[in-house]
Structure 1
Amino acid sequence: MYVMNTAPAPLLPVAAPAPVWARRGAHAIALCAVPSGLWRIAMASGVYVGYSEQVLRDVFDIPGWGIAYVVGLSVLAELAALFPLLLVSERWRPLRPRAMTAVAWTASVVLVLVALWQLVVAFTVESQTYMTSDTAQTVWAFIFAPLFAIPALMTAVTWSYAKRHRGQA
């Protein structure tokens, strides 16, 4: 009979659980992407969302290849909006804390830059001329407005994650 002596595994430092506000912020990010995703899916389905049939056909290629693009963009945006949930979850982490922190900070910076870029696009003359009415433009603005909360929320959730995992490999 063999007796194996096993040394106890070294304990890794355990990070504190995410604060309630960070958990709520991560969930809010996922919810902020829903209205614009539903709007895009409605657009791809042929529901009137403020664009004429000619604009849908000529600019967005709907019906046609544009349907796959618009639905795919909606799915991709929602999947990306679920990423912050990894920063507040204690269950599964695909990367080590240091790598996850780097990815999260990079995502935060990219989101801030994209939000600034979208503001420029939203206020250009060309982006406003496709809508058929001021009412449609107003509805569009309310539908897409929650997306502008995402960069601030992502930065706060990332800061919380980085603070809790400071010094871990």
Structure 2
Amino acid sequence: MEPMVKIDALPGVPRWAVLAAHTVPLVTLPSGLWRIAQVAGVPVAEQSGRNGREAVVAVSLTLLTEALALLTLGLVRPWGEVAPRWLPFIGGRPVRTLAAAVPALLGAAVLGAVAVWFTCTQATGLIGRVTQTPAQHVLLVVCYAPLLAWAPLLAATTLAYYRRRTAPV
């Protein structure tokens, strides 16, 4: 049976790695939308709306998070093997395997460590301090819980990238 959605990837990339790489930007999206909604004054929390500086930080964090999440796609797409021509200095050159794999694995390790630290030390205190209705609490958890999948998805996709790029020909 032919899949309903065809996702282009490089030859030799396992289907699970393609799906994992495409899932990463989706797991970061709900928290970003929650932050944007809060900045826009949508009552996602009792303290909806923020001052100008906090709004800039929230929007910048959202854009940075999505940009970093989208880089995961490079581990399964051609631009993860040959840098796009429009990039200064490296455009059109092959991407060294370790130049992509090491930062990605470090990123996965940092994301995992932050998730564990936050869950163990900060989550209950933060949630307890913020005044919110039960519905707002559920929305907050639903929007931020998917972030816990980012580190393992990135690590698995990176390991598949490394194996594929270093396999004997």
Smaller-chain TM-score bracket: 0.7 to 0.9
Matched, 1:28 2:23: yes
Q: Identify the residue that residue 48 of structure 1 maps to in structure 2.
A: 43
CA deviation after TM superposition for structure 1 residue 30, in Å: 0.8
TM-score by length of structure 2 reads 0.78
In structure 2, relative to structure 1, the CA distance for the partners of 1:147 and 1:50 (3 Å cut) is: same
Give the whole-Å Cα distance in 1 for the aligned partners of 2:70 and 2:158: 13
Partner of 1:98: 98
Give the Å deviation of 1:29: 0.3
Amino acid at match of 1:66: E
State the SS of the aligned residue for 2:56.
helix
2:114 corresponds in structure 1 to 114
CA RMSD in angstroms, aligned pairs only: 2.1
Q: Which has the larger radius of gyration?
A: 1
Partners of 1:44 and 1:67 within 8 A in 2: yes
- 5+ residue gaps, structure 2, are 1-9, 84-94
Distance 1:63 1:47 in 2: 14
Q: CA deviation at 1:121?
A: 4.6
Choose the corresponding residue for 1:85, options 52, 73, 80. 73
Aligned pair in 2 of structure 1 residues 126, 149: CA closer, same or farther (>3 Å)? closer
Greater relative contact order, per chain length (Cα 8 Å cut-off, separation 6+):
1
Q: Distance in 1 between matches of 2:59 and 2:141?
A: 19
Q: CA deviation at 1:16?
A: 5.2
**How has the CA–CA distance of structure 1 residues 121 and 43 changed in structure 2, closer, same or farther, with 3 Å as cutoff?**
farther
For 1:137-168, what per-residue CA distance to the aligned partner results, in whole angstroms no more than 9, with x for missing partners? 11100111111111111111011011111269
Shift of 1:102: 1.2
Kindly provide the amino acid, as one letter, of the partner of residue 81 in structure 1.
A
